[in-house]
């Protein structure tokens, strides 16, 4: 990507904007900001409910720490990941672009326990490309909210398909879920793999095979 490439829209900074409007298409529209005082009160009640003393020295600051933690790890619900795709560049590259091993962390909405792993994202441009870091920011924006892995995978694919208008998009997520490794069935080492394919990735076996070959390394 060179400086002579033309941006289709007004350039934006790499810093996520907390004031950006939230897209209604599966991007957390209507989600209120984390209410810190309410979270702190709830944590105190939870500590007491599990038999702890919220006033003991080691737990005095826990409600505040937990409130700040949730504000950080759920911050994506207040942002529109599409904001990162506002700047695209005209480029006559029509072959596959793959970004592998994008690390992410998210919070399972069923047990409110973390799941984490890697995202592999590919698209076939149709006259426009996007900066490499923007794809990682899209993954992060959707991951930093209460999620299920299946929805997270589809949201990434749908947004890229909608904003970049490529020939096709493919997304694979591999993740370990602590709700399965720390509780319940307790199977450390297990991983969940989900995929979403759009456009030529869905209609053309040759495109899918090329994509899979990149993922296998």
Whether 149 is catalytic: yes
Which listed residue (78, 79, 147, 149) is catalytic? 149
Q: Is 93 a catalytic residue?
A: no
Collapse the DSSP code of 107 into the 3-class scheme (helix H, G, I; strand E, B; otherwise coil) and give the result.
strand
Q: What are phi and psi of 188, to 5 degrees?
A: -60, 145
Q: Assess whether 120 carries a catalytic annotation.
A: no
Question: One of 93, 105, 110, 165 is an active-site residue; which one?
Answer: 110
Q: Are 135 and 156 in contact (CB under 8 A)?
A: no
Instruction: Name the catalytic one among 52, 86, 91, 179.
Output: 179
Which residues does residue 123 pair with via DSSP β-bridges, in sequence order?
Answer: 97, 169
Identify any residues that bridge with 159 across adjacent strands, giving them in sequence order. none
Catalytically annotated residue among 40, 111, 174, 204:
111
**Catalytic residue status for 179:** yes
Is 111 a catalytic site residue? Answer: yes
Q: What is the rounded CA–CA span in Å between residue 193 and residue 188?
A: 15
User: Six-digit token pair at 177?
Assistant: 């879920």
| Residues paired with 124 in a beta bridge | 168
Return d(Cα 9, Cα 85) in angstroms, integer.
10
Catalytic site includes residue 204: no
If we measure between CA atoms, which residue out of 202, 36, 181 comes closest to residue 123? Answer: 202
- Catalytic residue, chosen from 84, 120, 128, 177, is 177
With CA atoms as reference, report the closest residue to 174 among 107, 123, 109, 104.
104
Which of 108, 140, 147, 155 does the annotation list as catalytic? 108
Beta bridge partners of 105: 116
Just list the catalytic residues.
Answer: 108-111, 149, 177, 179
């Amino acid at each position: 990507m060179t400086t002579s490439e033309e941006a289709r829209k007004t350039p934006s900074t790499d810093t996520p904007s907390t004031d950006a409007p939230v897209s209604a298409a599966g991007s957390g529209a209507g989600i209120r900001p984390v209410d810190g005082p309410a979270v702190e009160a709830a944590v105190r009640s939870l500590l007491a409910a599990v038999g702890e003393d919220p006033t003991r020295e080691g737990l005095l600051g826990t409600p505040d720490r937990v409130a700040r933690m949730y504000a950080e790890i759920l911050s994506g619900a207040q942002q529109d990941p599409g904001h990162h795709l506002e700047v695209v560049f005209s480029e006559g590259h029509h072959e596959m672009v793959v970004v592998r091993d994008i690390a992410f962390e998210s919070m399972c909405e069923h047990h409110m326990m973390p799941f984490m792993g890697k995202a592999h994202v590919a698209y076939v441009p149709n006259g426009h490309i996007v900066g490499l870091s923007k794809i990682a920011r899209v993954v992060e924006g959707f991951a930093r909210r209460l999620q299920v892995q299946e929805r997270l995978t589809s949201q990434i694919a749908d947004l890229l398909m909608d904003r970049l208008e490529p020939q096709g998009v493919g997304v694979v997520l591999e993740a370990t879920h602590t709700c399965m490794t720390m509780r319940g069935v307790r199977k450390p080492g297990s991983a969940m793999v989900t995929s979403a394919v759009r456009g030529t990735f869905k209609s053309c076996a040759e495109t899918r095979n090329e994509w899979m070959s990149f993922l296998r390394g």
